[in-house]
Amino acid sequence: MRKAFISPAKYVQGENELLNLGYFVKTFGKSALLIAHKDDIARVQGQLDETAATFGVEIFASNFNGECSREEVARLQEVAKAHHSDCIIGLGGGKAIDTAKCVAQGEALIIVPTIAATDAPTSHSAVLYTPAGEFDDYAYFKQSPSVVLVDTKIIANAPTRFLVAGMGDALSTYFEARATQNSFSNVNAGLPCGVRTGECPPAKGTIAAYTLAQVCYTTLLENGLNAKIACDNNLVTPALENIVETNILLSGLGFESSGLAAIHAIHDGLTMLEGTHHYFHGEKVAFSAIAQLVLENAAIEELYEVLDFSLSIGLPVCLADIGVESITMAEAMEVAEKACILEESIHSMPFPITVEAVASAIMAADKIGKAYKESHLVK
């Protein structure tokens, strides 16, 4: 049996850690191409200038256009060659980070997330879009980033909604890992080998990955509310440090190396609904977690635990919370059909999946979440 586990070569987290960026650039050479949105660069320009001067390196801005498209990746690869860049830095949110992964192609890559809204920074995959912003394809690389550098002071000063959305994304990790383990399904850590290329057999998850997924969930429950309060007040506390690590590292290693299941597939289906387009990935994932628990008829105590946690930090628990005030069975069926396409992770659930069952779970999760919110939320 083939198992696989994947992770960054180095993960570093702490206050003012951005000031050490130049040190990591220097481990690759003397220069780096910085892929980041101009607004994110403006937020940290002082730290970038200081670390470049301290360590004697050059950091060149790339004029990133904001979209992770094949055209932008090709342009930036030429810019990197023109500057003789020794490494690539992806700084900011998901689009900049994924573009940096594509430009670096698995070599000499430093990722610097300025928000903790998803678990993408540690992964060896990226999402490609067209120049117009429509989904194009997934890209997988031979390894995860060389360095993931997380400055918790910067994250504490970002809007709290990002941190909470990251907790929504992390909330899925354990439940999808459990389903994948119970069904003995394959995990992303085996890619690009396996199904996508035919080069080698697919891989199962490891004990290490499943353990990280479990700790991801318990750390959320124990630290989530206090971390939110700290971020509301732009404070770095032990709880906030724990949640940043949970959102980025534990969830990142957990999803790639222990598997995805119904939650992320239902999320993908929900993107068909216009109302969801203004909500973050992790916010839609949070509702999808409730839908998976309903689909698998999880213990009522577990369902209520997730609902209580979500309400405590302001995560969505019903469709209205992600911009869908009402949904018909026909609309739910369309969402479910998209969630159930052959390539989706929902087929890692440990029982046969039907479109009808998924649609019913979405409808029921919406009703359960709405009723629970009405009965427990303080008016």
**Active-site choice (40, 86, 151, 267):** 267
Give the pair of three-digit tokens for residue 274.
């216009």
Beta strands in the chain (DSSP E): 10-14, 31-35, 58-61, 87-92, 109-113, 125-129, 135-140, 147-151
**Active-site choice (169, 268, 321, 366):** 169
- pLDDT for the residue numbered 202: 85
Provide the residue ranges of all domains of the chain, joining segments of one domain with +. Answer: 10-156, 160-374
- pLDDT for the residue numbered 379: 46
Whether 169 is catalytic is yes
Mean pLDDT split into 10-residue runs, the chain, 379 residues = 94 98 98 96 97 98 94 97 97 95 97 95 92 83 96 97 98 98 92 54 93 98 98 98 98 95 95 92 97 98 98 98 96 96 95 98 98 80
- pLDDT for the residue numbered 196: 47
**Active-site choice (40, 86, 124, 264):** 264
Q: 10-156 is classed in which CATH architecture?
A: 3-Layer(aba) Sandwich (3.40)
CA dihedral 55, 245, 281, 320 (to 10 degrees): -140
- pLDDT for the residue numbered 133: 75
Whether 267 is catalytic is yes
- pLDDT for the residue numbered 170: 98
- pLDDT for the residue numbered 14: 98
Q: What is the CA radius of gyration of the chain?
A: 20
- pLDDT for the residue numbered 259: 95
Residue ranges for the known binding site for NAD(+) are 94-98, 123, 129
For the question of whether the overall pTM of this predicted structure is more than 0.85, the answer is: yes
Whether 347 is catalytic is no
**Active-site choice (86, 281, 321, 366):** 281
Residue ranges for the known binding site are 94-98, 119, 123, 129, 169, 264, 281
Whether 137 is catalytic is no
CATH of 160-374, one of 1.10.357.10, 1.10.10.10, 1.20.1090.10, 3.40.50.740: 1.20.1090.10
The one-character DSSP state at 10 is E
- pLDDT for the residue numbered 138: 84
